[in-house]
């Protein structure tokens, strides 16, 4: 029987802590003991179905991770929303820009938020979606010297428990200067991060997993604008703005968060690079090794440390598989049968030539078989052709 009125069904309105079963009711892994936790109507059962179906072994771990999202624009805002709905433990948001009406063609932000800083507007919206998530917002430009040091400090000490490092950094910025700043910080700290981007024509994008020392950093194979030390501002044409499609940004944000979940919860295949071309529906994948001559000295340092780790790992001896003889008992029921007996094969083989020791022939030239049809012999009787014709007439 369906209920009426405004009361919520107890089976549907549950706290995230009750469903996920982490810690005591009314507490959060990153909150102090005893501080009340907001009661939320959240469909955790849909997420927990991943565990019941065997996709994820321990989905509850999602609440123990802290992730930083740098750039809360078209991709970053949707990324933050998806992580919030997935039940991430803590989100750190970094952006210096404000919400404008020009942003309304994208997802997430609303017209009444125009004029607010993007991190402030995002925090307000995300708290309403899932108040069980811890939020930390910073409204500044990470590329300045002063802010860069604070940015590195929050990576090192802004984890779910204060003083511990965060688990992952997500780059959702729209310029190379900010990407290089994130790259520099993560190389120095040995912090794993993921980079994302959408093309200027808004019909392609990509994501990339960067593990310092193990995979190529952003400086190992830089774009031309970075490699040539070109001022990025000089490339922008006056009166021309980059295209923006909410569909492309939604797709890139989706594959980014999917990669984040696989990386944090250890399921599926984590992509080191995954591209997206909307014109051909093409999704290229690849992995890039770090450049030993990378301009970033911290990247080269991380490469050396990674090599030492690989050497220190216990060597696993490769087990050589024995060649199995295929016969009538194999799993396919196939039997190799020859129509020629060994004796017939030996008799039909030609002589084996004398060869130096260690050299054998693959096959011998078969013997020529003699014609088995008996030959008819004709005796000459000495009779002439006329006599023979006369005999035939008398027959």
Going by C-beta distance under 8 Å and a sequence separation of 6 or more, which residues neighbour residue 217? 183, 186, 187, 210, 290, 294, 296, 299
d(C-alpha 95, C-alpha 90), whole Å: 17
For 66-79, letters b (16+ CB in 10 Å) and e give bbbbbbbbbbbbbb
| Active-site annotation holder among 13, 220, 241, 294 | 241
H or E segment to which residue 274 belongs: strand 273-277
* Catalytic residue check, 294: no
User: Dihedrals φ, ψ of 275, to 5°?
Assistant: -100, 170
Look at residue 164 and give its three-state secondary structure.
Answer: coil
- Closest of 79, 302, 286 to residue 184, by C-alpha: 302
d(C-alpha 170, C-alpha 188), whole Å: 16
What are the contacts of 48-52 at 24+ separation with CB within 8 A? 48/19, 48/20
Give the residue carrying structure tokens 């000495």: 382
- Catalytic residue set: 241
């Amino acid at each position: 029987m369906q209920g009426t009125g405004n009361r919520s069904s107890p089976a549907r309105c549950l706290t995230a802590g009750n469903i996920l079963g982490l810690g005591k009711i009314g507490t959060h892994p990153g909150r102090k003991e005893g501080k009340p936790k907001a009661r939320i109507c959240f469909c955790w059962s849909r997420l927990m179905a991943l565990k019941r179906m065997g996709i994820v072994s321990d989905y509850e771990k999602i609440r123990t991770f802290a992730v930083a999202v740098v750039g809360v624009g078209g991709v970053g805002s949707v990324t933050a929303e998806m992580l919030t709905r997935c039940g991430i433990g803590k989100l750190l948001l970094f952006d210096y820009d404000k919400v404008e009406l020009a942003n309304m063609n994208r997802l997430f932000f609303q017209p009444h938020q125009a004029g607010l800083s993007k991190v402030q507007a995002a925090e307000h919206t995300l708290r309403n979606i899932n108040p069980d998530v811890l939020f930390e917002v910073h409204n500044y430009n990470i590329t300045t010297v002063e802010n860069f040091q604070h940015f590195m400090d929050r990576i090192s000490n802004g984890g779910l428990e204060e003083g511990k490092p965060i688990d992952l950094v997500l780059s959702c910025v729209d310029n190379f200067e900010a990407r290089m700043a994130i790259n520099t910080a993560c190389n120095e700290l040995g912090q794993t991060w993921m980079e994302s981007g959408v093309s200027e024509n808004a019909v392609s994008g990509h994501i990339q997993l960067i593990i310092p020392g193990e995979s190529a950093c952003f400086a190992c194979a830089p774009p031309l604008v970075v490699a040539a030390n070109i001022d990025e501002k000089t490339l922008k044409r006056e009166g021309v703005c980059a295209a923006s499609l909410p569909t492309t940004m939604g797709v890139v944000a989706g594959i980014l968060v999917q990669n984040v979940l696989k990386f944090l919860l250890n399921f599926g295949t984590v992509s080191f690079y995954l591209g997206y071309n909307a014109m051909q529906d093409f999704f290229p994948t690849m992995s890039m090794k770090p450049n030993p001559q990378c301009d970033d000295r911290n990247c080269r340092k991380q490469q050396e440390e990674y090599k030492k780790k690989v050497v220190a790992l216990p060597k696993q001896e490769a087990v050589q598989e024995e060649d199995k003889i295929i016969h009538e008992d194999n799993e396919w029921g196939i039997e190799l049968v020859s129509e020629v007996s060994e004796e017939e094969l030996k008799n039909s083989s030609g002589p084996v030539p004398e060869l130096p020791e260690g050299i054998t022939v693959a096959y011998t030239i078969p013997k020529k078989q003699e014609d088995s049809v008996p030959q008819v012999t004709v005796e000459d009787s000495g009779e002439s052709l006329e006599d023979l014709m006369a005999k035939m007439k008398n027959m």
